[in-house]
């Protein structure tokens, strides 16, 4: 409860307000893509990189997939979340076996969003 006092020439006036300060309303948003992952064309032995920028409140969690199967971190597979909203998948020392469609699923309690792109292996060297 707030109490505010005012002085008038004849008397002191006191007002009581039953409501406290207004609370800042939290904003909630389902995840959305500011930048989706793009096609990746690589040569054998290179590192493939998929990067996306994501918004949403609270900050979304994420999962990476290859051809519908969930990926997990390993010596060759690295999944990063940098700062707020930057998500990255790195595949080290790629081979023809890494060719496929890669997807990113981001989610929070208010919804989810998905994007995908192919990894194309080019066996010709320049």
Q: Confirm whether 79 is domain-assigned.
A: yes
- Concatenated DSSP letters of 52-90: EEEEEESPPEEEEEETTEEP---SSEEEEEETTTEEEEE
Distance from C-alpha of 119 to C-alpha of 68, rounded to nearest angstrom: 14
pLDDT of 124 reads 60
Structural domain contains residue 19: no
Number of domains observed in the structure of the chain: 1
In a domain, 6, yes or no: no
DSSP one-letter code for 1: -
d(CA 39, CA 84): 23
pLDDT score recorded for residue 123 = 66
CATH number at residue 47: 2.60.40.10
Average pLDDT along the chain, 126 residues, taken 10 residues at a time: 49 51 74 95 92 96 98 97 93 94 98 96 63
Q: What does pTM read for this prediction? A: 0.76
Q: What is the Cβ-side half-sphere exposure of residue 77, based on CA atoms within 13 angstroms?
A: 12
Cβ neighbors of 100 (< 8 A, separation 6 or more) are 66, 67, 118, 119
Domain that holds residue 113: 29-121
């Amino acid at each position: 409860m707030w109490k505010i006092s005012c002085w008038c020439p004849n008397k002191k006036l006191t007002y009581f307000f039953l409501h406290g300060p207004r609370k800042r309303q939290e904003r909630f948003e389902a995840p959305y893509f500011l930048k989706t992952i793009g096609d990746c064309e690589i040569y054998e032995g290179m590192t493939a990189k998929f990067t996306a920028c994501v918004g949403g409140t609270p900050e979304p969690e994420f999962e990476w997939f290859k051809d519908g199967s969930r990926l997990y971190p390993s010596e060759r597979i690295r999944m990063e979340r940098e700062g707020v909203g930057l998500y990255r998948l790195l595949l080290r020392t790629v081979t023809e076996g890494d060719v496929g469609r890669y997807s990113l699923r981001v989610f929070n309690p208010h919804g989810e969003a998905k994007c995908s792109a192919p990894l194309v292996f080019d066996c010709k060297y320049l």
